[in-house]
Structure 1
Amino acid sequence: MPSSKKLVPILQTVGALLAAFWVAGAYAGTLSEEDELALVYGDNATVSIATGSSQELRRAPSVASVITAEDIAAMGATDLDEVLESVPGLHVSHASIRYASIYMVRGLGGGNQVNPQILLLQNGIPMTAMYNGDRGSAWNAVPLENVARIEVIRGPGSALYGADAFSGVINIITKTAADTPGTEFGVRVGSFNTRNVWTQYGGEAGEVEVAAYLHAGSSDGIGEVTRAVSSPEPGAVSTDYDAVDGSLNLSYDKWRFRTNYKLRDNVGTGAGVSRALDPASKSRAEHITSDISWTDTQFAQNWSAGATASYLYYSMEYPDNLMLLPPSAWPPDGMIGGPNQWERQQRYSGFAVYSGLTDHIVRLGLGYDDLEIYKTRTYKNYMFNSSGIPVYTGPVTDYSDIQPHIRPQQRQVSYVFAQDEWRFAPDWTLTAGVRHDHYSDFGDTTNPRAALVWAAAYNLTAKLIYGRAFRAPSFNEQYGINPVANGNPNLGPERIATSEAAVSWQVDKDLLMNLNVYRYDAKDIIRLIGGYFTNIGAVHGSGGELESVWDINRRLRLTGNYSYQQTIDEVSQADAGYVPHHHLFLRGDMRLAASWMASMKFNWIADRQRAVGDARPDVADYKTVDIFLRTEQLENSWDVAVSVRNLFNARVLEPTLAPGTALPDDLPMARRSFYIQALYYL
């Protein structure tokens, strides 16, 4: 637990923030009656990710959070990581390589350079890159202008969503024509030479509803200084990038077509990919998805049905290769490597919902996925000898046929699932489901779930939830070619079983409180043992999350959540390491006048222990404050927003890994930064 010395400044800061908002709220309350407009946060009382169908959030058979476009605008968030940091039980950390986002959920996700334990969906379709089993490199600096809502499940989701819904599921739902009436143009500039421009449109072309979006952005990166053991002196981390995002959404009757494009070019290596800072090397990631879906809510009497076909293309390239070690550590040219790969995925799925049985809603589904790395290229100036020692070979050469980092691989997955929502009494609902997956490479896995929901009173709901989930091994873990991290084709999936209890209490019309506690046991965790990936690890964790929404008056809303977790590595019988035991997030939104709105966010991260074998002191705690001010539909349809991130210039660090860490210091995050944004509506 945090000491009293830690708590005193935290409480003082929180108290000062609340006092400032209370005074401002009291002043705002003296304005004229016509200026007193209620805050609007969109439809955050319903969720579809929990069962596949829309239902009340408090009655959903899971612990879930919903963030709407209106909510995103109110908090001033401009990137996906900002929104997810506000979710109870979820902390956004960063890897040293490319400063890639690591989503830690309930103690899971720490101690790794990749993030395969959580499933990211876009419009219900997995965005998983097969090489590392996570989102890949095109999902950094994700803009939010085209996001209608974000739904997050904390806990297992494999009974509906299959692989990688291990610690949780995130579904990003993009805007349709109805969400974007007319045309919008936007521009944002700020610290670190950050620049963004975008436009989006929603309308109709005959009977076809059309939504289109295009965004371009770039940044020179935060420029914070760190050290690496093989670099001759400290240097700035490389977090610069160029970004392009685009989408097209067409809807006609029961049909919908969507296509999305992401490009992340000239992306810096963060703190380097090996043991050296590498300010010169850049990466390029391209991500294209398309899907066509058909849904008929009245397919037949008591039946609704739907089907989806999707295609995903993903490439990860290093156009000028990587400096793995500098010339001072690997003469004469330095150790240079360029592992490139190209992926494609086809997914086909269908579902049917039957409501003809009294008090039952039955959902059935099946699907087939064809997933592959279809091309690889490996460039380097060295080869591994028979002892696994790298030997300099001269100029950079294409070793794709002789000694690649991985060869093309393919995996097929077929699955079926069934789910029944049974309202067996007026205030009681039991949701039970099971999904069976067959993998062409490692075999079968079956994952059930059950949730009992009791509407104990008109303002009180209680839940008991149990679920199992799995994480499929990535292609790199199965087939990677590297003497210090060899793939193992005999790997099986990681497995987890989670039990939860939750209560939602609408204290009165202005105050909502949610509390949940959980316990999980994970086994067959994939770890490197003797240079090979092996199913050997096991962890168990427990914790709780408390969240509240309080509408103090018509013009002032306070939201907040506190999360506690403890995760134990069963091999070492010690803390699993690197994940915060305590996370407090507070936010105040205030209507200053008819067209002005202010928001303030406070984030406290505390008690991050090191893993066994890492003798460094614990990762430093931190607290940050962000402020945001925006207008709404001023004269001539202009909106303006200004924001300050990390107002008090706190030193924010995210952990590097050990033992024998190549980065003796932790990763520095952005200091105080300023942004201004303008929107114009036609």
Structure 2
Amino acid sequence: MKLTPCLSLLAFYLSGSLAFAGSEYEPEFFEDFGDDEDLISIATGYEKPISKAPAVATVITASDIRKMGATDIDEVLEAVPGLHVARDVPGYNPIYTFRGIYSSLNPQVLMLINGVPFKSLFQGDRHLVWAGYPVENVSRIEIIRGPGSAVYGADAFAGVINVITKQGDEAKGLHSGLRTGSFDTTEFWASYGGESNGLKYLFSFEYEDTDGQREAVDSDAQSVLDFLGGTSLSLAPDSVNLGREAYDFRADVSWGDWRFQADYQNREGQVGVGVVQALDPSGLVSSDRYGVSIGYKETDLADDWQLEANASYRSTTQEVEQDILLFPAGSTGGPSPFPFSNGIIGNPEVYEHHFYFDASALYTALADHEIRIGSGYYLGDLYRVRDERNFTQTLIGQFPVIVPLQPDASVVDVSDTPLAFITEGARTNKYLFIQDVWHLDNDWELTAGIRYDDYSDFGSTVNPRLALVWSTSHNLTTKFLYGQAFRAPSFAQTRAINNPSILGNPNLMPEELESYELAFDYKPSVDVHLDANLFFYRWDDIILFEPDPAGRRAQNAGEQTGYGLELNAEWEVSDQFTLSGNLSLIDTTDERTGTSAGNAPEQQVYLRSDWQLAPDWHLNVQANWVMGRERVAVDIRPEIDDYLMVDSTLRFAPGDRDWEFAVIVKNLFDEDAREPSPSGDITAMPIPLPALIPNDLPLAGRAIFGEFRYRFGQ
């Protein structure tokens, strides 16, 4: 991809901005600027106007989510510049691809729920049994593009997503809703909240049951084995399997300086196109996730001091409700003389505890300085592993071969034996950080921060950041940003055993990223808001599974660079009509091969219109154009096809009534849209393997939903 024309466009844009900045205007021209600007806390730990925040950030509010007709957080995040939501094989889990940083399982993105990390030790991701995150109880979502380890530590790498849930003063009374439609989907939610004498409370419940989209996969991993072995065992062509049922409960109570939160999520879902890319129509997995947290924030502890402390606990599970079929009945699973009459079955389960504690203080006594210092402690414990299966793997020569555990290929419980797929264990992390926001002058602000993390299993790491924010004029802000980040190895990468295809390496070091950014925030009028961001990053020590005498072992083997441009615009054409959109241009290079890092879109355009058709009618139309997804170097398939996805929401909300109704249409024009499937594996077989799902992962066709909301009080 060539960025030269885009840089010329940016130069033209900025020349106009600076010319405008130097013009003479009456003071009243600027008096409305910033009155309704979003505040963001994710960049510094305390609220700042987004245009002045020392990061490239986006805020999406509950009002935005409702107008968009979004039913899940993934649909919301697709609207963020430089961020694309791809799909992984197991369960179609989201891959939040920030600025071309694409990897299966996606551990390079940190998700926070009200500032508390939501991640797993096992794979380093949000969770293998993800099955969606509903948005009805979301107050706003704050997103940082770029590194955030100086504030949030591990995994705040490519980007940080902070989901902030509603409190009692935002959802007073009883609110409920029902949504139903395509794929035999039913969703229900209800919340009750209020505020009295300083006490705020909110209790919410959300439920979803769906068969999931049923687009077909033409060929799968077993199809390749059928071709090589002359068999006909594959279940393809057949549909992906994405049915799921989800429950979400949340309680949020705050009084004075204290806030207490408790939540419970239960997920039960099918496994998409199969765990190893062979269709599995019957496998069923589940997850129980619950957590509690208590926070204290004192803004008047003493002169010039503010104190904040939080303690949290979260428990997560990955469980198997119905046998996971890795390969169908009769398959050998590879170059093996042992067919499995009942199929190859593997049921891995993991159970984790996570404890967090952090405390920080903000000191403002020094002239022109805001100094924030803090420390914290984390304990993660993969305390239980269960493993039931009917196979094991061994090496014949250099290649892994699947053989039965028992002569009749029956399922055996190998938990707490040397045959288990991973070892149990814990990880601790102690950290210190300091940040200084230095007001150099009326128009200049320098944010400098550094964080030290010490891990029990791989040692220590130091990550700094610098952000110089220049208020160039009343309506233009310029930012110069530098940051480093790290991604901690997952336990699957350090502790996996008994699988020659995926062997852990206890000597792994964390992945590292160094990033440079130049950003502009420009408001030529009260009705128009423009952003432009240029970035460059280097991603080192990427953890890959590389050939090893014992199989394929995790190694710090990869290196990637990337640079690009993000443009974002919002225009309030009138009181009834608003246009917004963004353009992302990204160029990535795999430094080992000198070719594109692949899979992520090099160009992406998002457009949105909001039209108040009449006092009670609102129409939202969105278009997402995903382009330029090249293959990785070893993948000989042609580029992934571009697609243009259009969604629309028509909402009727009479102002004198307590109810409203909406019709939501996803993929309005029934576009054949696909996300990249994994490339072939040239090390796993005696001959190079092609991509096991050659025609990529199909996304849902046209879907229509009806939505009804009712509020019983305010």
Shorter-chain TM band: over 0.9
2:78 to 77, 82, 85: 85
- Paired amino acid for 1:596: W
Report the secondary structure of 1:177's partner residue: coil
Equivalent residue, structure 1, for 2:237: 234
TM-superposition CA deviations, 1:72-94 (whole Å, max 9, x none):
11222111001100000000010
- 1:527 corresponds in structure 2 to 544
1:396 paired residue among 378, 392, 411: 411
How far did 1:71 drift?
Answer: 1.2
- Give 2:182's aligned amino acid: S
Structure 2 counterpart of 1:260, from 260, 263, 267: 263
Q: Decide whether aligned partners of structure 1 residues 275 and 67 sit closer, same or farther in structure 2, where only a CA change above 3 A counts.
A: closer
Q: Deviations over 1:278-305 (max 9, x none)?
A: 0111110121121001110011110000
- Look up the match of 2:127: 136
Q: How far, CA to CA, are the matches of 1:321 and 1:451 in structure 2?
A: 51
After superposition, what is the alpha-carbon deviation per residue over 1:192-235, rounded to whole angstroms, capped at 9, x for unaligned?
A: 01100110111146653211110111110111100213124311
1:281-292 matched pairs, under 5 angstroms? 281-292=283-294
Moved more, 329-338 or 360-369: 329-338
Shift of 1:138: 4.8
**Offset, 1:634:** 4.8
C-alpha contact (below 8 Å) 2:91/2:129 kept by paired residues: no
- Quote the offset at 1:321 in angstroms: 2.2
The equivalent position to 1:372 in structure 2, one of 381, 385, 390, is: 381
| AA at the equivalent of 2:586 | Q
Q: Is structure 2 residue 583 aligned with structure 1 residue 574?
A: no
1:345 is the counterpart of 2:354: yes
Matches of 1:386 and 1:503 in 2, distance apart?
56
Deviation at 1:665, TM superposition (A): 1.7
Choose which of 155, 159, 178 in structure 2 pairs with 1:187. 178
Distance 2:322 2:298 in 1: 50
Q: CA offset at residue 143 of structure 1?
A: 1.0
**Aligned partners of 1:653 and 1:667 also within 8 Å:** yes
CA contact (8 A) 2:236 2:279 kept: no
Q: Secondary structure at the match of 1:88?
A: coil
Q: Which residue of the partner structure matches residue 107 of structure 1?
A: 100
Distance 1:479 1:125 in 2: 25
Say whether 1:421 aligns with 2:437.
yes
Q: Matches of 1:87 and 1:229 in 2, distance apart?
A: 34
1:435 aligns with 2:437: no
- What displacement does 1:408 show? 1.0
1-side partners of 2:311 and 2:303: how far apart? 25
For the residue of structure 2 that corresponds to 1:319, the secondary structure is strand
Amino acid aligned to 1:195 = T
Structure 2: distance between partners of 1:621 and 1:224: 18
| Residue 167 of structure 2, aligned match among 161, 165, 176 | 176
Opposite residue 371 of structure 1, the aligned amino acid is: G
- 2:148 corresponds in structure 1 to 157
User: Is the contact made by 2:261 and 2:293 (CA closer than 8 Å) also made in structure 1?
Assistant: yes
How much identity, in percent, do the aligned residues show?
A: 40
Q: Which whole-Å CA distance do the structure 1 matches of 2:260 and 2:171 have between them?
A: 17
Superposed, which structure 2 residues align to 1:245-324 within 5 Å? 245-265=248-268, 267-324=269-326
Q: Which amino acid aligns with 1:593?
A: A
Match for 1:588: what amino acid?
Answer: S
Task: Identify which range, 627-636 or 399-408, moves more after superposition.
Answer: 627-636
TM (norm. structure 2) is 0.88
Q: Shift of residue 384 of structure 1? A: 2.7
Equivalence for 1:565: 586
Aligned equivalents of 2:102, 2:288: Cα separation in 1: 25
Match of 2:321, SS? coil
C-alpha offsets along residues 243-265 of structure 1, whole Å, 9 cap, x if unaligned? 10110001111111001111111
Contact 1:44–1:68 (CA under 8 A) maintained in structure 2: no
Which segment drifts farther, 306-315 or 398-407? 398-407
- Native 8 Å contact 1:379 1:399 kept in 2: yes
Counterpart of 1:650?
Answer: 671
- Structure 2 contact 313–356 (Cα < 8 Å) conserved: yes
| CA–CA separation in structure 2 for the residues paired with 1:159 and 1:106 | 19
Kindly state the Cα deviation for residue 275 of structure 1 after the two structures are TM-superposed.
3.9
CA distance in 1 between counterparts of 2:147 and 2:276 reads 33
Aligned 8 A contact 1:61 1:451 in 2: yes
Structure 1 counterpart of 2:164, one-letter code: I
Deviation of the 1:631 alpha carbon: 2.2
Contact 1:43-1:68 at 8 Å conserved across structures: no
1: distance between equivalents of 2:166 and 2:567?
30
- Give 1:386 shift: 6.2
Q: What secondary structure is seen at the aligned counterpart in 2 of 1:239?
A: coil
Deviates more, 1:255-264 or 1:227-236: 227-236
Q: Identify the residue that residue 9 of structure 1 maps to in structure 2.
A: none
Quick check: 1:50 aligned with 2:43?
yes
Letter matched to residue 583 of structure 2: Y
| Cα 1:338–1:483 shift into 2, 3 Å | same
Residues in 2 aligned to 1:476 and 1:540: alpha-carbon distance in whole angstroms: 25
Q: What CA deviation, in whole Å up to 9, does each residue of 1:314-340 have, x standing for no partner? A: 000112221111113133111101000
Q: Does 1:63 align with 2:72?
A: no
| 1: CA distance, partners of 2:53 / 2:196 | 37
- Equivalent residue for 1:358? 367
CA contact (8 A) 1:42 1:71 kept: no
SS at match of 1:179: coil
Assess if the C-alpha contact under 8 Å between 1:42 and 1:70 holds in 2. no
Q: Could you tell me how far 1:139 is from its partner in structure 2?
A: 3.7
In the TM superposition, structure 1's runs of 4+ consecutive aligned residues that sit over 6 Å from their partners are none
Q: Does 1:122 align with 2:113?
A: yes
Distance 1:381 1:198 in 2: 41
Match of 1:500 in 2: 517
Distance, in Å, in 2 between the alignment partners of 1:224 and 1:360 is 57
Matched with 2:337 is none
Deviates more, 1:385-394 or 1:459-468: 385-394
Once the 2 structures are TM-superposed, how far is the Cα of residue 133 of structure 1 from its aligned partner? 0.3
Q: Does 1:485 align with 2:502?
A: yes
Query: For residues 108 and 471 of structure 1, do their structure 2 counterparts lie closer, same or farther at Cα, with a shift above 3 Å needed?
Result: same
Shift of 1:390: 2.2
2:531 aligns with 514
1:406 paired to 2:422: yes
What residue number does 1:37 align with?
none
Secondary structure in 2 aligned to 1:366? strand
1:90 alignment partner AA: L
SS of the residue corresponding to residue 617 of structure 1 reads: coil
Partner of 2:706: 676
Which amino acid in the other structure matches residue 301 of structure 2?
F
Match of 1:30 in 2: none
Q: 1:311 to 1:107 in 2, by over 3 A?
A: same
Q: Does 1:542 align with 2:563?
A: yes
2:697 to 659, 664, 667: 667
Stretch deviating more after TM superposition (328-337 or 571-580): 328-337
Partner residue of 2:246?
Answer: 243
Paired AA for residue 311 in structure 1: Y
Give deviations 1:576-613, integer Å, cap 9, x for gaps. Answer: 01000000000000111112111000110001000011
Distance in 2, Cα, partners of 1:292 & 1:242: 29
Q: Secondary structure at the match of 1:304?
A: strand
* CA deviation map 1:527-569 (0-9, x unaligned): 0111000001100000010000001111100000000101100
Counterpart CA distance in 1 for 2:496 and 2:60 is 38
* Alignment root-mean-square deviation, CA: 1.5
Q: Aligned equivalents of 1:620 and 1:192: distance in 2?
A: 25
Q: How many residues align?
A: 642
CA distance in 2 between counterparts of 1:523 and 1:299 reads: 43
User: Which residue does 1:16 correspond to in 2?
Assistant: none
TM-score (norm 1): 0.92
